């Protein structure tokens, strides 16, 4: 039986600098028949651990926006959005235009950015 995103280990898996795309993946394995991929497009800012045990998403608070604005040296500007990922009680931030979550059976070294790089 597949484990939920709260039980799986996630890693920053791939980053495409020229297209500002990032992939965070929990790879398939004995307990998980599918990869669990979190894809970001139009990435402007990243504040993540390289490995996270369990993830969930939360709505950004005013404090989150203030913290990110201070670190970036500017506020989050539309069309960018602030995405908050929570892991082990720690709030991590990604500023990007778009996020997509998907499951797939790609091989270990295959990146879903190669197949799903266009969010339109």
Q: Is residue 119 part of a domain?
A: no
User: What percent of the chain is modeled with pLDDT above 70?
Assistant: 92
Q: Is residue 102 part of a domain?
A: yes
What was the pLDDT predicted at 70?
A: 97
Residue 118 has pLDDT above 50, yes or no: no
On whether the CB atoms of residues 41 and 102 are closer than 8 A, the answer is no
User: What percent of the chain is modeled with pLDDT above 90?
Assistant: 77
Q: Is residue 58 part of a domain?
A: yes
Q: Is residue 100 part of a domain?
A: yes
What was the pLDDT predicted at 30?
A: 85
Residue 3 has pLDDT above 70, yes or no: no
Residue 116 has pLDDT above 80, yes or no: no
Distance, CA of 22 to CA of 15 (rounded, Å):
4
Residue 120 has pLDDT above 50, yes or no: no
Q: Is residue 40 part of a domain?
A: yes
Q: What is the mean pLDDT of residues 12-32?
A: 93
State the residue range of the domain holding 94.
9-108
Q: pLDDT tens digits, residue range 46-103? A: 999 999 999 999 999 999 999 999 999 999 998 899 999 999 999 999 999 999 999 9
Q: Is residue 4 part of a domain?
A: no
What was the pLDDT predicted at 113?
A: 87
Q: Is residue 120 part of a domain?
A: no
Backbone φ and ψ for 116, nearest 5 degrees, come out as -125, 35
Total number of domains in the chain: 1
């Amino acid at each position: 039986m597949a484990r939920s995103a709260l039980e799986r280990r996630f890693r920053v898996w791939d980053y495409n600098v020229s297209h500002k795309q990032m992939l965070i993946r929990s790879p398939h394995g004995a307990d998980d028949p599918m990869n669990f991929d979190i894809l970001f497009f139009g990435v402007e800012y990243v504040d993540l651990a390289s490995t996270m045990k369990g993830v969930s998403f939360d709505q950004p608070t005013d404090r989150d926006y203030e913290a990110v604005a201070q670190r970036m040296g500017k506020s989050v500007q539309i069309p960018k959005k602030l995405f908050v990922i929570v892991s082990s009680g720690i709030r991590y931030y990604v500023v990007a235009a778009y996020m997509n979550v998907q499951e797939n059976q790609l091989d270990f070294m295959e990146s879903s950015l190669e197949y799903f790089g266009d969010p339109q």
